[in-house]
A and B are shown apart, each in its own frame.
Chain A
Amino acid sequence: MPNRTLLAGENAENSAPVMKADLKHLLPAFRALHKHTRMTRFCMALIDLSGTLHVDDQAQPGAVAAIDRLRQSGIPLRFVTNTTKESKRLIHQRLLNMGFHIKIDEIFTSLTAARKILEAKKWRPWFIVSDEAMEDFDGLPTENPNAVVIGLAPEKLNHENMNKAFDMIFNQGAHLVAIHKSRYYQTKHGLALGPGAFVTGLEYATDTKAQVVGKPDAAFFLSAIPGSLCTHKLNEIVMIGDDIRDDVGGALKAGLSAILVRTGKYKAGDEAKIEPSHPTFIANDIVEAVNYILEDEL
């Protein structure tokens, strides 16, 4: 057999014996690499936190191991949360305490996104935001405020502050920035009211529209995707969450794929709430969602 370069598609088995031996040597590494690229059709996963990975300080059963498995597939992970009650640092600390292996730079919160908007627009904020979250706004100018920034702050969402916000918006023309507009969220005591109700109330009373920062805004999902991934088709990026509108509906609208998990705030019949679109997949929990992404047997 003449000694020549292999052509594309030609089988190395028929080539020089020395090459065959080299390939055998590389096989374990090749298989490992091959496994990674074959295991999932998705190039990235965005994952919701509260209700999907945990409720309060309790990790969902199997969630820690599921995230570890997903990470082993080699695709980048980002954690996108509308939690407005605590700073990114505190959220990260809480996730570590629950046993999750997550880096702080992988977390994208609506708080940090709100800060970016305030900085970009040079707005001077007045906050209805929990004290635990305020460190994410350190250093912003707050004198003579011209923007009401509202998050989930049970101790501050009261009539007095609502009246002050109303006065600033209605009489002084301040902007209304909603860190997010979630209807409700899951606590260990059941569903609890999100900031969306209060944002909607202010919108109605002042006849204005809030600038909504977090999920389901498409810009928020896209901000979590690294620039290097932009060449991929957006539908190869999958969002996992328990909120049919904010996680699933929002991601689908942004062009991503989306998995609804039936944990956290999920209520029977939620699937139909975003018709005519439909979740890419419906999983019982984060473990099943990860199995689906990794194309394991369900």
Chain B
Amino acid sequence: MSGKWLDTSIKGFLLDITGVCYDSAGNSGIPIEGSIEAIKLLRQAKIPFRFCSNESTASRVHLARKLGEIGFDIKAEEITCPAPVAAQLLRERGLRPFFLVKDEVLEEFEGINSTNANCVVMGDAQENFSYENVNRAFSVLINSPTPILISMGCGRYYKETDGLKIDVGAYCKGLEYACGIKAEFVGKPDPKYFLSALEQLKISPANCVMIGDDVAGDCGAAQKAGMRALLVRTGKYRPEDERRTDVQPDGVVDNLLQAVQAFLDFKNAKAE
């Protein structure tokens, strides 16, 4: 591991969840080795950090509970997720969505009228991505004079414990193609999304490091938002991710714990 990303300007971290903290497995999951401890160490050292995820299979409360059940100490209010951003967008524009999502995320959209839909909001709906459901979303879009498709993330795939899984981006691109439209994306890699997470942390991009397992969606995107980015060799990571010429992370670490330890060692050495 190279330590060239380390310097005294680092004040905090944004952490991806899936593939960095844990590998998902349906309604449960398995912590990635060292990640529970890494988060403990950050808390003990009082380093500001926040979770910046494209997780759209569940609400923040649901996700925090799921992570709690497998040993993490993570609060719902520490998580930036696309669903609340999408909900805010629907309220601002008075849109009535058809939801192509999992039921577990719906509580983020409470109070939003979804009768007589005039737009589609999609997330990682997993088993709800049946032909019938995708076709219903298609019907809303193709029969609308001004079709609006809002997608929570545009990921290609992610890691579950039993292998890589196709992500919401695939179905979103499919609907774009069928309807001849462009979706609006909420979540990473939108720089505004990273910045909204940083606002909560009250630190500027130049003082923050993003840690993720998606070399483009986490690392490249965070760099575009003015941050540094570390790639972890966990989750969906593949060795070829380090050989890409279009995106180059500021550092590559074996896992989250290695990054946190390197940072704390560096900080302690400077303090001595």
Contacts and interface: CB of A to CB of B under 8 A. Distances in A.
Interface residues of A, number: 32
B178 A193 contact: yes
**In this complex, which of B131, B132, B139 has the most chain A Cβ atoms within 10 angstroms of its Cβ?**
B131
Interface in B135-166: 135, 138-139, 142-143, 156-157, 163-166
Interface in A151-194: 154-155, 157-160, 162-163, 166-167, 170-171, 183-184, 190-194
Contacts of A155: 131
Contacts of A197: 134, 138, 171, 174-175, 177-178
Contacts of B139: 190-192
Q: At the interface, is chain A mostly helix, strand, loop or mixed?
A: helix
Contact of A158 (B130, B138, B180): B130
Q: Which 8 A-B pairs have the closest CB atoms?
A: A197-B174, A201-B170, A201-B174, A200-B177, A205-B170, A154-B131, A204-B173, A197-B178
A107 interface: no
B163 A204 contact: no
Nearest to B126: A159
A157 B170 contact: no
Interface of B: 125-132, 134-135, 138-139, 142-143, 156-157, 163-167, 169-171, 173-180
Contacts of A171: 163-164
A200 B163 contact: no
Interface in A109-167: 154-155, 157-160, 162-163, 166-167
B156 A205 contact: yes
A196 interface: yes
Contact of A183 (B129, B143, B178): B178
Given A196-B174, A204-B169, 6 more contacts: A162-B170, A166-B165, A197-B134, A200-B177, A201-B170, A273-B180
A166 B166 contact: yes
Contacts of A163: 165-166
**In this complex, which of A159, A167, A170, A201 has the most chain B Cβ atoms within 10 angstroms of its Cβ?**
A201
A186 B218 CA distance: 41
Interface of A: 154-155, 157-160, 162-163, 166-167, 170-171, 183-184, 190-194, 196-207, 273
A200 B181 CA distance: 14
Contact of A170 (B125, B143, B164, B180): B164
B135 A193 contact: yes
A207 B164 CA distance: 14
Contacts, number: 96
Contacts of A194: 178
13 contacts: A158-B131, A163-B165, A166-B165, A192-B135, A192-B138, A194-B178, A196-B178, A197-B134, A197-B174, A200-B173, A200-B177, A204-B173, A207-B156
A193 B134 contact: yes
Given A170-B157, A193-B138, A198-B174, A154 B127 contact: no
A183 B173 CA distance: 12
B166 A205 contact: yes
A144 B211 CA distance: 39
A205 B178 CA distance: 16
B216 to A, nearest CB: 11
Contacts of A157: 130-131, 134
B129 A158 contact: yes
B209 to A, nearest CB: 27
Contacts of B169: 204-205
Contacts of B177: 183, 196-197, 200
Nearest to B129: A159
B178 A201 contact: no
B177 to A, nearest CB: 4
Contacts of B171: 197, 201
Contacts of A160: 127
B166 A183 contact: no
Contacts of B138: 184, 191-193, 197
Contacts of A198: 174
A31 B164 CA distance: 70
B156 A183 contact: no
A188 to B, nearest CB: 14
Contacts of A196: 174, 177-178
A167 B129 contact: no
Contacts of B126: 159
A184 B138 CA distance: 9
Given A159-B127, A197-B175, A184 B170 contact: no
A20 to B, nearest CB: 65
A273 B142 CA distance: 15
A183 B132 CA distance: 15
Contacts of B142: 184, 191
Contacts of B143: 190-191
Given A157-B131, A193-B135, A204-B173, A162 B178 contact: no
A219 to B, nearest CB: 22
A108 B131 CA distance: 26
**In this complex, which of A154, A157, A163, A199 has the most chain B Cβ atoms within 10 angstroms of its Cβ?**
A163
